[in-house]
Amino acid sequence: MSAKAYRDKKALPLVEKLKEVVKNLTIKCVQLAEQSKKLTAKVDGQQKQISRLTDKVMEQSDTIDRLQEKASDLGRLERHFGREQVQSIVERSKALEQAERSNKRPKRAFEMSR
């Protein structure tokens, strides 16, 4: 086989196949790099969300601790003064707060014209 025939029948088709494989691999590499960037951004966003939610859980835990302490204090008051007396004080306080809120509300236009 002559060099020209070898080149035309063997070498050039092999080079063309190799070019095609390199081209396909390059495309695949670029696609994977883009996918990697997207996934990295998604992971970063989820880490921020996890951090925010962890902070919120910690705040809720602190609130629960404070409320449990207040419940303990209320239990102490009930033991010392009696449940009925504490309940009546709470109800009077609620009524006073409601009265104050109703006095602070602005009068509506139709109420002021009377």
What rounded mean pLDDT belongs to the chain? 92
pLDDT digits (tens, 9 = 90+) for 5-14: 999 899 999 9
pLDDT digits (tens, 9 = 90+) for 34-54: 999 999 999 999 999 999 999
pLDDT given at position 104: 84
Region class of 97: left (phi > 0), else alpha (psi between -120 and 50), else beta: alpha
| Unique residue bearing structure tokens 């009696």 | 82
Q: Measure Cα distances from 107 to 32, 43, 49, 97 in Å.
A: 66, 53, 44, 18
pTM above 0.75, yes or no: no
Q: What is the phi/psi pair of residue 35, to 5°?
A: -65, -40
Report the share of the chain in percent with pLDDT over 70: 92
